[in-house]
Amino acid sequence: MTDLPMTAPAIVVTQPGGPENMVLRDIPVDAPKAGEILIRVRAAGINRADAVQREGHYPPPKGSSEIMGLECAGEVAALGEGVTEFKIGDRVCALLAGGGYATYCAVPAVQALPLPKGYSFEQGAAIMETFCTVWTNVFERGRLQAGERLLVHGGSSGIGTAAVALAAARGAEVYATAGTAEKCAACADLGAKRAINYKTEDYVEVIKAETGKEGVDVVLDMVGGDYLTRDISIMRLEGRHVSIATLGGHTAEIPIMQIMLKRLTITGSTLRTRTPEQKGSVVRGVHENVWPLFESGRIAPVIDSVMPLAAAADAHRRIESSAHIGKIILKVD
């Protein structure tokens, strides 16, 4: 184990509320526990869930770091007892339950992967939360196959851009909704057959027109609310609807008869509260199925902007403005 500092900088939330309550402070650096690695963080990804946590509405799982940050990239600084798959100095990226907005972060080794060949730390920090979320929801729960149709709501977000690019690369016909012409163009560049500006077009009518009224096989929905009812109206027989967020509302009125007649599956999931073993299974699936696409250049994470750790409040303001396309990254010097 290398010599570690007693303390190192991290972003701390002084009290629940706005971005102004985020400050840079030194916090203790603890050695990794058995089965963990300690990462010297070089970059961390920003996710909308971080802002919800900052507001006091999304506490970390019991026993997890109170520091925000669900993904990071950096170098292995120390190994916990029993860890053999990494060595000190390895360049890695990791899926976290928290702790990424810091100089050092401990994580179960099963939730970390070697950086894709040729990738920077900033690129690595844009991968794990988004692509693990897409893999487990679109391809495991949603069972999307080549030749099927996928509708992605929020197609220009970090998760949305990952879903569009990955599904298109794996042979699906992809549709996406987004809120500006620029965001729609970004979705098209990533492989969407049709990107729909939901502010000026009715996505239900567009999908019907584009598919000859057949509809789509899988929907990845981070909006919720009445989108669920509308989505059901454009789903094919044996379709799968996967909810991963509720930005537009927590409840919906659903047409049960349509679900029955179309034999639909309505499902959803969260990633953060899963056990390390469950997360490790998702991470292995991403390594096997997505890493080759990164390393061949077929797909890449979309990065909107990179800001220093001390500017985390500005990064939160940007993600809350919804002006971004792809991932916002914090660089940790």
Res 86 pLDDT > 70: yes
272-320 pLDDT, tens digit per residue, is 999 999 999 999 999 999 999 999 999 999 999 999 999 999 999 999 9
* pLDDT computed for residue 2 by the predictor: 60
Q: How far is CA 242 from CA 80, 141, 187, 329, in A?
A: 36, 7, 20, 26
Overall average pLDDT of the 146-157 stretch: 98
Overall average pLDDT of the 84-108 stretch: 98
1-16 pLDDT, tens digit per residue, is 568 999 999 999 999 9
Domains of the chain: 7-127+272-331 (3.90.180.10), 130-268 (3.40.50.720)
Q: How far is CA 287 from CA 169, 272, 316, in A?
A: 16, 18, 29
Provide the whole-model pTM: 0.96
* pLDDT computed for residue 3 by the predictor: 84
